[in-house]
Amino acid sequence: MIEKLDKLIKESSSILLVCHTGADSDALASLIAMQKILTLHYKKDVVTALGERIPKSLSFIPGYGSVVNGSILEALEKRTPDLFICLDFSQLHMSSKFDAEKIEEFINKAGLPFVVMTITQRHTKILMRTFT
């Protein structure tokens, strides 16, 4: 699975990274960590977006300022990425309080590959949907 994810990332030039609506510390920290891995290690063009604004109470997390508080739907419409990565959630209805259906519709219509990474108490789950 990790090899497949590595390949998928390498084949993508622009990546949209999102976490679940009502971002909490694990969602935001994993978003920031993944943003760093993708930009520093893979040298990818990464855009972050969130369903709603990140709470100021999470500003203690290093890298808080590097996450753009833009809407997921707007980011998708502005420039369709090659890859959509969801962190800390596994179902698209958790992407936004208001735009989740439109986000899912956009992704399906565009045939956008997406990767879901969630961590439970027992294991890390990586799910991938690709169309190739």
Judged by the rule CB under 5 A, the positions of this chain that interact with Mn ion are 24, 26-27, 88
Six token digits for residue 10: 């390498």
Of 29 and 47, nearer to Mn ion (C-beta) is 29
How many Å apart are CA 73 and CA 123, to the nearest integer? 30
Least separation in angstroms between residue 21's CB and Mn ion is: 10
Least separation in angstroms between residue 27's CB and Mn ion is: 4
How many Å apart are CA 23 and CA 78, to the nearest integer? 23
Of 15 and 28, nearer to Mn ion (C-beta) is 28
Least separation in angstroms between residue 79's CB and Mn ion is: 27
Least separation in angstroms between residue 105's CB and Mn ion is: 24
CA atoms within 13 A on the CB side of 81: 27
Of 16 and 86, nearer to Mn ion (C-beta) is 86
Whose CA is closest to 8, among 33, 28, 38? 38
Six token digits for residue 120: 């439970």
Of 8 and 19, nearer to Mn ion (C-beta) is 19
**Helix, strand, or coil here: 48?**
strand
Contact call for residues 38 and 17 (beta carbons, < 8 A): yes
